[in-house]
Structure 1
């Protein structure tokens, strides 16, 4: 699946993410209480009916959220979920990608560059500072040098995570 890196305003993302989190938590509470109340008033008071009410509330909240996630106002949040998903996929292959980088594998170079760009963007969107680990900084520098040597752009705009299948986890 091809994933394109996009620019999103960090402040707008954080504001929407907070709003959506509060709305979903409130919705879960209301649905859970509503289903619990309906079940206990119909079948009598029981801990298991209250638990079932909360589970039904969770299912109802999840179903509503699944319907709403494709709305245009969810674009920033949806993008960050997808970014996290793709970064997670790449992180499972970091060891073989780093080995292939030493062999000047272009795909490994692109995937590792995407990984570092994505991690930096994720930190920015979440309002955190980027990781200043010396090993990570050295790897970013090495990637930049290798990309310059090969005449490539210092940035990767899109990546196909299906390319990971060529690498063995290790």
Structure 2
């Protein structure tokens, strides 16, 4: 079950930027270091070391992925991990959006609640990421949903989401 939380945008951006920089530095160091060790251990007479360089990048990515996964619940990662989970929840809904929109048109209350959560989540995410280009379009979609809900006498109040709710769509 995913529930909306209040996230400090400045802390989120600061931590995200530091994590990205750390990952870039780590990937560069790991890729080059691993590739150089492999080239020294297994030199190629042709001088092509593409496969060792590629293996260095792959191993570096795996190490960084495992490290991020291990520390995702660390307090420093709180905001970044929250946004990652929010994006994941919104992605679940996005995959079913066409069917959900059809269900909303047909008056399905559950679909209306899910789409309300989706629009609220998109707004929060886009504000955190300074992605305000499509905010006007989002407001239009949300207004249409609220009008349909009023016509069906539905109070839109969904603040949490579980991907199991999409099973029927």
TM-score bracket, normalised by the shorter chain, equals 0.7 to 0.9
Alpha-carbon shift at residue 58 of structure 1 (Å)? 1.9
Distance across 2 between alignment mates of 1:159 and 1:60: 32
Paired position in structure 1 for 2:17? 18
**Structure 2: tracts of 5 or more residues without a match:** none
Distance across 2 between alignment mates of 1:142 and 1:51: 49
The SS at the match of 1:156 is coil
Distance across 2 between alignment mates of 1:10 and 1:147: 31
Paired position in structure 1 for 2:4? 5
Distance across 2 between alignment mates of 1:99 and 1:57: 44
Alpha-carbon shift at residue 151 of structure 1 (Å)? 5.5
Distance across 2 between alignment mates of 1:80 and 1:70: 13
Aligned length: 163
Alpha-carbon shift at residue 147 of structure 1 (Å)? 4.4
The SS at the match of 1:64 is helix
**2:135 aligned to 131, 134, 139, which one?**
131
Distance across 1 between alignment mates of 2:140 and 2:85: 27
Q: What aligned pairs does 1:146-157 form with structure 2 within 5 A after superposition?
A: 146-147=148-149, 150=153, 152=155, 154-157=156-159
Distance across 2 between alignment mates of 1:117 and 1:11: 20
Alpha-carbon shift at residue 161 of structure 1 (Å)? 1.9
**Structure 1: tracts of 5 or more residues without a match:** none
Residues 103 and 111 of structure 2 are in contact (CA less than 8 Å); yes or no, is this contact kept in structure 1? yes
Could you tell me the TM-score, scaled by structure 1's length?
Answer: 0.85
Could you tell me the TM-score, scaled by structure 2's length?
Answer: 0.86
15-24 or 94-103: which moved more?
94-103
Q: What aligned pairs does 1:1-150 form with structure 2 within 5 A after superposition?
A: 2-45=1-44, 46-47=48-49, 48-129=51-132, 130-133=134-137, 136-147=138-149, 150=153
Alpha-carbon shift at residue 96 of structure 1 (Å)? 1.7
Residues 3 and 160 of structure 2 are in contact (CA less than 8 Å); yes or no, is this contact kept in structure 1? yes
Residues 10 and 127 of structure 1 are in contact (CA less than 8 Å); yes or no, is this contact kept in structure 2? no
Distance across 2 between alignment mates of 1:116 and 1:163: 16
CA root-mean-square deviation:
1.9
